[in-house]
Amino acid sequence: MKHFFRLTCIAIAIVLTSCSSFGQKKDDYAAKIDSLIQKTNPRSFNGVVFIQQNGKRKYAKSYGYSDFNKKTTLKISDKFSTMSIAKQFTAVLILQEVEKGTIDLQTPIRNYLPDFKYSWADTVTVHQLLNNTSGLNSEDIDKPLKFAPGTAFSYSNIGYYVAGQVLEKQSHKSFEELVMALFKKCKMNDSYYPNKSNNKFLTKGHTVKKDGSYKLNEKLDFDIHNYFGSHLIVSAPDLAKWNECLHNSKLLKPDTYKMMTSYSITNTHQLFSEKPIGYGYGLRINDKDSIMEIGHTGFHPGEGFTAVNLYYPKTNTSVIVMENQANENFDIAYYFEQEIRKIVKESNLLK
């Protein structure tokens, strides 16, 4: 009997050990990310990886330098350019005006900007500016529309600049005032609107050339017209706070949030999928995969920043990667962002 009892206990111990080992094997996402960011091929990583779930940090590490020349160690609290992640801030501010009744998404922008010199203002709507179906060129407002508004997708930073003009006109406030109020609302104490006094908080950006050499960008060339769609100053932990605010009904009414995260147009992006996914208002909506995913990327080789902000509603999980470098070889520009996303999606974090 004692022999049988001993064998039974040993068997149970083996099963428990096996289950524990299996669980560790399945959930070693942290070790996998640690190993990944040590790689130097096809390129090196230099930035912050921050994962948060239900308001709690699950992974937070910085790797590399804030200044390649001085070899200053990068910190988790360092501030980066949002680049195109800024679009979702502008979209939220506009949707808050929609809730107040001062902006109608389906009204041509001529209604708000009567002196705007471009004839397309008679037909392009705020809705089309926000979901990149306006037909506007990405960087040059003086070029003709690429297509009839609303008929196709074409990513446009200029579109968000125009949307920003409507926002400031109808809110009677500057974008700086509005953005800083959003930061305060979400307790984003390490985030700033770019101006002469705040620019000192931004970590240095580095352009990595195709031959492997780099250029440290002492001064950014972003001007005020870029801020609506391409440049705010945030830390990775603050971006997780932003996700908590945005996706948990702290900024928009449920129906308005649904408008932001719905889509009528699709487009491909190399980080998310080879197949087209939806584009809402400043957000890519990936509801074609097994796990619902909402997010956006940021990339600017000239200024030297790369980023991705991902949110998974089912588990209230944020995955944020911010680098103060950008590779001119676009084929490997998002290498680490793609691999980190893959590791997280294969882990138990999102189950």
How does residue 27 score in pLDDT terms, banded at 50, 70 and 90? confident
**126 or 8, greater pLDDT:** 126
Span 321-350, average pLDDT: 97
* pLDDT tops 60 at residue 5: no
* pLDDT tops 50 at residue 21: no
CA distance to 13, 21, 98, per residue, from 9 (Å): 6, 18, 65
**288 or 191, greater pLDDT:** 191
Element (H, E) at 62: strand 56-63
pLDDT of 266 reads 97
Summarize pLDDT for 239-287 with one digit per residue, the tens: 999 999 999 999 999 999 999 999 999 999 999 988 999 999 999 999 9
**Residue that has been written with the tokens 């942290």 in this structure:** 30
pLDDT of 290 reads 87
How many Å apart are CA 319 and CA 284, to the nearest integer?
Answer: 14
Domains in the chain: boundaries: 35-350
pLDDT of 222 reads 82
How many Å apart are CA 32 and CA 340, to the nearest integer?
Answer: 9
What would be the CATH architecture of the domain defined by 35-350?
3-Layer(aba) Sandwich (3.40)
* pLDDT tops 80 at residue 8: no
Summarize pLDDT for 96-129 with one digit per residue, the tens: 999 999 999 999 999 999 999 999 999 999 999 9
137 CB-contact burial (10 Å; exposed 0-12 / middle 13-18 / buried 19+):
middle
pLDDT of 13 reads 43
pLDDT of 24 reads 41
